[in-house]
Chains A and B, each alone.
Chain A
Amino acid sequence: MSNVEEFPLTGRVLTEYEALITSAPTALDAIPGAVYVCDHEGWLVRYNAEAAELWGRQPSLSAPRERFCGSERLFLPDGALLEHQDCPMAKAVKNGVSTRNAEVIIERPDGSRIFALVNIRPLRDHRGEIQGAINCFQDISQQKRIEAEVIRKSKDLEDFFENSAIGLHIVSAAGIILRANKAELELLGYTADEYVGRHIAEFHADPPVIGDILDRLSCGKKLDRYPARLRARDGSIKHVLITSNSRFDDGKFVNTRCFTTDVTSLYESEDARRESEERLSATYQAATIGIAESDANGRLLRVNDAFCTMLGRSREQLLTMTFLDYTHEDDRGEEARSYARQVNGEIDTYAIRKRAVKPDGTVVYLDVYSSTVRDHVGRFRYGVRVLLDVTDAKHMDDRLRESEQHMRDLLEALPAAVYTTDAEGRITFFNKAAVEMAGRTPQIGDKWCVTWRLYRPDGTYLPHDQCPMAVALKEDRPVRGEQAVAERPDGTRVPFIPYPTPLHDVAGNLVGAVNMLVDISDREKAAEYAERLAAIVRFSDDAIVSKDTQGIIQTWNRGAERLFGYSAEEVIGKPINILIPPDRQDEEPGILERIRRDEHIDHYETVRIRKDGTVIDVSLTVSPLKDARGRVVGASKIARDITERRRSEEHRKLLINELNHRVKNTLATVQSLAAQTFRGVNASQDFGRFQSRLVALARAHDVLTRESWQGADLQEVLHATINPICVEPQQRVEASGPPIRLRPKMALALSMAFHELCTNAAKYGALTNDGGLIKVSWHVSDSESVSHLHLQWEEIGGPSVKVPARTGFGTRLLERALARELGGKVDLVFAPNGVRFHIEAPLA
């Protein structure tokens, strides 16, 4: 350096090396930076404090001396050990090589390392000989760290660019794609060659969109999640969001960096979500089910139309209320408890049927399904309430229950044994008739049958699980036409026909069965009875014929064959008219008409024609024949040949008349004889009495003859007897009592008694004045096994009565003969105010 030489030696000018060596040791400390100096052999001769600090040690400058570097150890930046004799300082003192901005790593005695930037210059004397070298070095660890970080970061960025999940591309100012990452290429399905180098607009589906994007970017505006549609290689359209900014250099638009976020699936799901939300929303409002949201206190936050309709309140009203406000007070507690548990998170959902009261007071039944919507940490956000108006269903349910009860009542009242079981055959219901028939009270839950023991009609044992009811349930079909015998605990047996019928719910599932047991003991008796009846019909002497309502002959027994001469084959299917004489054809329509009216015709006497044309007198009894439902389907006719009977009856009548005629003539002859005998004798009074008694006897005969001597009516006997004696009998005699039929002997005896009493009354008693009255009254007592006649003759309003001095014929007849004749008791009293006579005698 020229300026160094300008200094004189003794003033001689010092070299740089000499100047550094001769200066005060602390002079180097003034230099900002680490500095050390070595001599021409490399021995350390000077260093400053900063150098010692970076080295972390104080190298010794006197023996033992150190060469080339004061550090503990040195390494190259790549980590290789750098021996001190090979370090840049060594090269500087040995070869005069300067080092500019070399990097080494210094290791301190404590093992820590620092990056050092080294600058070394050899120091020469005036002749150019190397006197030593100076090394200025500085700690660049921090810079190195930053640098490493930068490198790592850019590497990361590159990696990020390349491997990012998000599509990235860089577009030049001209719109040419400069670069695209894997994600971008994968998103669109292109190779780098197909994509890079092309104009970005080629890949956009919407020209106005890319136009707008490029415009914005060229103006320096950022794009943040700008929606666009890109065309993929396979032709599909990808929905993307573009986030982009522009790079400008010196105000010049260089390129854009674009992030492409694929939101296609998001779009699709968003579409789907929107659609479903729209649908939900539409549903929410249009739903016939009520939907509402409520907060933790039950306050309604949102309600749909159906909800409002159901509760009969406007949305505005409801949104000021809690759902408990309109809940029927009886149901409030339960609902409140359930909701509290839901809000507390004890339960997620609950369902409840409750009553709600509308503003007009009407009550509706609601089925409420309450569920919880939670936030992301699981806390209760709001309750979703779905409401169903089940009032109608409830009413239907009630009606169903009612009708079920009604049905049970009906079944209970049914006179036939009825029981029901569930699908497993367990008895769920039985009526009283079932208990009666089974002879025991079944237990609810018993299986298959209410009976105690079962037998088949042939007498073999029938286990309950094989009974017709069990079959009906197991095979799910009604069982008909079976018959069984139930044995009661007392050993009696009842034959019956079961009618088991499976029951199904509306869905057609088997839910049980109902069985009716029809006791056929009666039917068996009836069958037996019918058999006997058929035998009677078969062998009856009477003609027994049935005909339909049109008069067509249906059945014809042997009696009919005998009576009418036709065989069954000849007449069955023919009209009954063939038996009716031409002049009596009009009888049949009348009979048929009466039969159709369900009338019974008893002993209708008429005339019919036999097959041989002869006429017979018949007595017909015609009865309607009915089917099981009670409709008249024809008639049964019993015809009895009465020709003989009629003939003998006529003969008998003739005989009686003849006899009567003779008896009467005889009596009249007796009368004549008496009259001739006593004529002229002053005995006309006695004759009169005789004549009168004779006539009375004859009158009683008349009454009896009219009845063919079968008997006579008491009142008729009374009147026939007293009318010839008593003037105006209607006014003077008061007869009262029930109609009584007297046997002939009694009729004659009473007739004689009435005659004597009446004659006496006409002579001495009630008939002698104008106001007297005879009261005759009678009744029958049934107190004993034989009916007794009690008859009272009582005279009132006549003159006062005297007891006759002697017992005449009349008195004797009344008091003795009559009692004997009738086997009864008589009582004759000549009371002063009128004669009283009482008789009590057995009627039979």
Chain B
Amino acid sequence: MTERRLRVLVVEDESMIAMLIEDSLGDLGHEVVAIASRMQEALDIARKGQFDIAIIDVNLDGEPSYPVADVLAERNVPFIFATGYGSKGLDTKYSNIPLLTKPFLDSELETALVQISKEV
């Protein structure tokens, strides 16, 4: 368990999956502050939103979501990639970013959160 209650941005275009992540985070004691399912929306929130951490699906309706990651990196907001590709599907530029491979277990989500919040 992370020691604090994290406020999380979830960038995910599949609503069912977003819901699953939201439930999982809730079960782990965290709070989802926003769910973005479109690129523009995600970019807006990423630039302006107030949150501790973000979970970003790499593929947003067929489009790579790296620009969102770039914004967050710029703002020094930690983030986790969630992808169906597996680690090989990720741009090498982000090879040091924690990766959740879909589908994932709650325990895996927790591990990733612990890892990222330690780095923060």
Contact = CB atoms under 8 A, between A and B. Distances in A.
Q: Chain B, interface size: which category?
A: 20 to 34
Which of B85, B86, B105 has most chain A Cβ within 10 Å? Answer: B86
A661 B89 contact: yes
A671 B19 contact: no
A261 to B, nearest CB: 134
Which of B89, B102, B107 has most chain A Cβ within 10 Å? Answer: B102
Nearest to A661: B84
Contacts of B16: 668-669, 672-673, 676
A667 B102 CA distance: 8
A802 interface: no
Contacts of B103: 664, 667-668, 670-671, 691, 694-695, 698
Given A672-B19, A673-B16, A664 B102 contact: yes
B86 A672 contact: no
Given A667-B102, A694-B103, A724-B108, A675 B85 contact: no
A691 B84 contact: no
Contacts of B20: 668, 671-672, 675-676
A251 to B, nearest CB: 159
B37 interface: no
A706 B101 CA distance: 13
Nearest to A727: B107
Interface string A670-709: 1111011001000000000001101100110010011000
B104 interface: yes
Interface in A177-213: none
B64 to A, nearest CB: 11
A665 interface: yes
A669 B19 CA distance: 9
Interface string B66-100: 00000000000000000111101100000000000
B117 interface: no
Given A665-B84, A673-B16, A706-B86, A691 B105 contact: yes
Query: Main secondary structure on chain A at its contact with chain B?
Result: helix
Given A667-B102, A695-B103, A662 B84 contact: yes
Nearest to B22: A672
B112 to A, nearest CB: 12
B17 interface: yes
Nearest to A694: B103
Contacts, number: 73
A423 B23 CA distance: 108
Nearest to B88: A706
Interface string A148-164: 00000000000000000
Contacts of B104: 668, 695
Which of B17, B19, B103, B105 has most chain A Cβ within 10 Å? Answer: B103
B43 to A, nearest CB: 21
A585 to B, nearest CB: 28
A346 B116 CA distance: 124
Contacts of A670: 103
B14 interface: yes
A702 B86 contact: yes
A668 B14 contact: yes
A134 B110 CA distance: 208
A668 B86 contact: no
A664 B105 contact: no
B4 to A, nearest CB: 24
Interface string A231-269: 000000000000000000000000000000000000000
Nearest to A692: B105
Query: Main secondary structure on chain B at its contact with chain A?
Result: mixed
A706 B85 CA distance: 9
Contact of A657 (B17, B23, B89): B89
Contact of A663 (B14, B84, B88): B84
B105 A724 contact: yes
Given A668-B14, A669-B17, A660 B23 contact: no
A672 B105 CA distance: 11
Contacts of B59: 661
Contacts of A662: 84
Contact of A679 (B23, B88, B102): B23
A667 B107 CA distance: 17
Contacts of B85: 657, 660-661, 664, 705
Contact of B86 (A673, A679, A705, A724): A705
Given A657-B85, A661-B59, A724-B108, A668 B102 contact: yes
A692 B103 CA distance: 10
A669 B17 CA distance: 5
Nearest to A705: B86
B19 A660 contact: no
B14 A669 contact: yes
Nearest to B13: A665
Contacts of B102: 664-665, 667-668, 698
B102 to A, nearest CB: 4
A531 B89 CA distance: 50
A692 B17 CA distance: 17
A671 B107 CA distance: 14
Contacts of A702: 86, 101
A661 B105 contact: no
Given A675-B20, A698-B102, A702-B101, A668 B84 contact: yes
B21 to A, nearest CB: 9
A686 to B, nearest CB: 15
A665 B14 CA distance: 8
Which of A664, A670, A691, A695 has most chain B Cβ within 10 Å? Answer: A664
B33 to A, nearest CB: 20
B32 to A, nearest CB: 14
Which of A663, A672, A676, A706 has most chain B Cβ within 10 Å? Answer: A672
A692 B107 CA distance: 11
A676 B22 CA distance: 12
A664 B14 CA distance: 11
Contacts of A673: 16
21 contacts: A660-B86, A661-B83, A662-B84, A665-B84, A665-B102, A668-B14, A668-B16, A668-B84, A668-B102, A668-B103, A668-B104, A671-B20, A671-B103, A672-B17, A672-B19, A673-B16, A675-B20, A691-B105, A695-B108, A702-B101, A724-B105
Interface of B: 14, 16-17, 19-20, 23, 59, 83-86, 88-89, 101-105, 107-108
Given A664-B83, A705-B85, 17 more contacts: A657-B89, A661-B85, A664-B101, A665-B14, A668-B102, A668-B103, A668-B104, A669-B14, A670-B103, A672-B17, A672-B19, A673-B16, A675-B23, A676-B16, A691-B105, A692-B105, A724-B108
Nearest 6 A-B pairs (CB), nearest first? A664-B84, A672-B20, A661-B84, A668-B103, A672-B16, A702-B86
